[in-house]
Amino acid sequence: MSAEENPAEQLAGADAAQLAQLVAGASDEQLAEMMGGEGRKPVLDEIFRRMSEHVDETRAKEVDAVIDWKITEGPDGATDHYQVAFKDGKATVTEDGTETARVTFVVPGVNFIKLVSGAVQGPSMFMSGGLKIEGDLMFAAQVEGLFQIPKAA
């Protein structure tokens, strides 16, 4: 990821495997710049828009739950809030949703982008303190398996 390229434009043109490769090849400083600046919102919107495309419908078939995502450390200390609702093997994403969540993930922007791109695993991020979990911890452990997470080539 080069400094002169717009991260949101790069992401919009990238498929899931390319996103994983972009994140794997970026330094923490580059990711922090992307997730702390004006490109953050378009990047988050694009990632959450794609979440429904990466649901493993077989695994999510029996899941009826809402997940809160709170991505911290945005510009001026802002936190972005998205909800992912699972029902009948599908996922619906809303921004600033008001549904009662079964689990809430609180994660800084850099860690979030690493998590959703498959660069790090949720359990190890949780154990190192880079991911906070509120609510149903048993369900939280299953969430990663509800998605087909891309891998860098």
Per-residue pLDDT of the chain (153 residues; tens, 9 = 90+): 444 555 556 665 667 677 777 777 788 888 888 888 888 888 898 889 888 888 999 999 999 999 999 999 888 888 999 999 999 999 999 998 899 999 999 999 999 988 888 888 888 999 999 999 999 999 999 998 898 766 655
pLDDT one-digit tens code per residue, 6-33: 555 666 566 767 777 777 778 888 888 8
| Domain range annotation of the chain | 7-146
**CATH number attached to the domain at 7-146:** 3.30.1050.10
**What is the 3 state secondary structure string of 27-74?**
CHHHHHHHHHCCCHHHHHHHHHHHHHHHECHHHHCCCCEEEEEEEECC
Name the pTM for this structure.
0.85
Give the up-direction half-sphere exposure of residue 86: CA atoms within 13 A in the CB hemisphere: 25
